[in-house]
Chain A
Amino acid sequence: MRMTNTKLFNKASNGFIEHDPTQDGIDRRGFLKCMAWAGTGALCVMQGGVLKSFALGSQDSSIKSHKTAGLSFVQISDSHMGFNKPANPDVVGTLRAAVDKINALPRQPEFILHTGDISHLSNPEEFDNVDQILKATNREVFFVPGEHDVLNDDGKMFRERYAKNAKGAGWYSFDKNGVHFIGLVNVMNLKAGGLGTLGNEQLEWLEDDVTHLKSSTPIVVFAHIPLWTIYPQWGWGTEDSAQALSYLKRFGSVTVLNGHIHQTMQKVEGNVTFHTAYSTAFVQPAPGKADSPGPMKVPDGQLLSLLGITDVNYVQGKHALAVVDSSLA
C-alpha cells in the first residue's frame, strides 16, 4: 500500500505524499497540509491508503465513494449555554446553526461527541436547553465535562445527566464499528498553578481499559482540555497526558479530540493525531495573542466563520481518521 509517488494535490499547494516512513500510505506532513487545506471547507479521507480530498457539499462521484467509509461521527464543543456577553449574545442561535450544519452533512453521522462546556454556569436550565436543541439531530450524543459543567457540585449533576454508567468523575469507553472510543475527564481536582489533570485513578482505569484491545484497533480519545500542551501559560494542556498517551503507543491509529480553546488546531505525532475543535458559542484568542484567554469579540459578520463543527470519518482497514472542520458560515 505504498504510495510514495502519488501526487494527490498540485504541487503548488505542496499537498502530496512526501514521506512515508511507516509505509501505510500516510504522509503525516502531507496529511497535516491536507487538514489545513480542509479548514476552508474540503474533506480529506483515506481510501485504499490514498489520501483523497474533495470540497464539502459537492455532489460528485468522490462523495459517493466517501459514503463507503466505515464510520462517520461529529464532534461539537463549548456550547456555553447561558453565556450572554458581547462576544456572542445568542449562543442558542449559534448552537441551532451547528445542528443545521450537522443535519445538512452529505453523510449523516452515526452519533455526536460533545467535548464539554455544555453549559456556562452548570445551571440545570442551561443543560436542559442544550439537550432540547441537540434533539433535532436525532443522534445519540456522548458527553465529557468541561470545567463550566462541574462548577458548584464536583460534577454530580453532570454525572447524573450524562454519565450515569461512567466510572469515577465520569470517564467511560465504548466501541462503534470496530473503533474504540474513550471519554476522559481532565477538569476535576485541578491543583493551584497547574494544568488539566486526569489523576491516578483514571490513568489506571485507562491502562486497564485498553489492555485487551488489538493494536490494530483504531482509538479515539475525547476530553475537554487539550491532551497536548498548547500554551501552558493559559492552562492549555494536561499535566499527566503523557502518561495516558504512553498506554496508547502500541496502537496504529490514535485520534485525540479536544475542545476548551475555542479554535481549531492540529498536530500529528507518530500515530497520534491531535485535534481541537471550534466552539459553537464564542471565539478565544490565539495562544498569547491577548492579555488573557477570555471571550473575544470579533467584528460583526465574522462570528459564524469562527464557530463550527468537526466531522470525523473512518474507513475500515485504514489508519488515520479523517478530521474535517466546518465553520457555521
Chain B
Amino acid sequence: MKNKILIAIVGVALPLALTALFMIYPARVKGQDAKSTEVRVDNFTFAPDTLTVPVNSTVTWVNKDDIPHVIASSDGVFKSKALDTDQKYSYTFTKAGTYPYYCSIHPKMVGKVLVQ
C-alpha cells in the first residue's frame, strides 16, 4: 500500500508539480522584471542608461520629450520608427549579451541593455 502511494506520488504528483513549476516559472520571472524593463527617454537621456535584464525580457522605451527620438541598436540589431511624445517601442532580447544603443537622430544620446 505504501509503495502504491509512493508510486502515485512519484509517477503522478511529482510530474504534475514539476510541470506546474515550469509553467509558473517563466511567468514569475516576467512578472518580477516587468517594472524594470521600461526605459524613459526624457530630457535627451535614457533612464536608466544601463539596464540589466534576463534573457527573453522585453524592454520598452517610452518617449517623454517634446521632440521625437529613434531607438537604434549601435550594431544594427534593432531600430524603432520615430517615437513622438508618449509613444513606445518594445524589443524582446532572446540572447544574452551587451546591446549598446543610441538615438539615431540625436547620437549623443546613448545607452545599453545587458542581457544575462
A60 within 8 A of B: no
A190 within 8 A of B: yes
User: Does A148 lie within 8 Å of B105, measured CB to CB?
Assistant: yes
User: Does B85 lie within 8 Å of A85, measured CB to CB?
Assistant: yes
Kindly supply a per-residue 1/0 record for chain B positions 77-116, scoring 1 wherever the CB is within 8 Å of any chain A CB and 0 otherwise.
Answer: 0000110110000000000000011101111101000000
* A236 to B: closest C-beta gap in Å: 9
User: Does B82 lie within 8 Å of A151, measured CB to CB?
Assistant: yes
- A234 CA to B43 CA in the complex, in Å? 11
> Which residue of the partner chain, among B45, B68, B81, B107, contacts A120 with CB atoms under 8 Å?
B68
A192 within 8 A of B: yes
- Chain A residues with CB under 8 Å of B110's CB are 192-193
Within 8 A of B (CB), among A151-169: 151-152
User: Does A192 lie within 8 Å of B44, measured CB to CB?
Assistant: no
* A80 to B: closest C-beta gap in Å: 9
- Chain B residues with CB under 8 Å of A85's CB are 66, 85
Chain A interface residue bracket vs B: 20 to 34
On chain B, the number of residues with a Cβ less than 8 Å from chain A's Cβ atoms is 22
- Chain A residues with CB under 8 Å of B104's CB are 190
Nearest-CB residue, chain A, relative to B74: A192
| Known A121-B68, A152-B81: A193·B44 in contact at CB below 8 Å | no
Kindly supply a per-residue 1/0 record for chain A positions 216-232, scoring 1 wherever the CB is within 8 Å of any chain B CB and 0 otherwise.
Answer: 00000000000000001
> Which residue of the partner chain, among B44, B66, B68, contacts A148 with CB atoms under 8 Å?
B68
B70 within 8 A of A: yes
User: Does B82 lie within 8 Å of A87, measured CB to CB?
Assistant: no
- A195 CA to B102 CA in the complex, in Å? 12
* A194 to B: closest C-beta gap in Å: 5
| Known A152-B81, A187-B105, A192-B110: A293·B68 in contact at CB below 8 Å | no
- A292 CA to B82 CA in the complex, in Å? 19
Within 8 A of B (CB), among A119-170: 120-122, 147-148, 151-152
* B112 to A: closest C-beta gap in Å: 10
With A83-B66, A292-B45 known, 12 other A-B pairs at CB within 8 A are A87-B66, A148-B105, A152-B82, A192-B110, A193-B107, A193-B110, A194-B108, A232-B108, A235-B107, A293-B44, A294-B44, A295-B67
Residues of A bordering B, CB below 8 Å: 83, 85-87, 120-122, 147-148, 151-152, 187, 190-195, 232-235, 291-295
7 pairs, A vs B, C-beta closer than 8 Å: A151-B82, A152-B81, A152-B82, A191-B107, A193-B108, A292-B45, A295-B67
What 6 A-B pairs have minimum CB-CB distances, sorted nearest first?
A192-B102, A292-B44, A151-B82, A147-B105, A292-B43, A85-B66
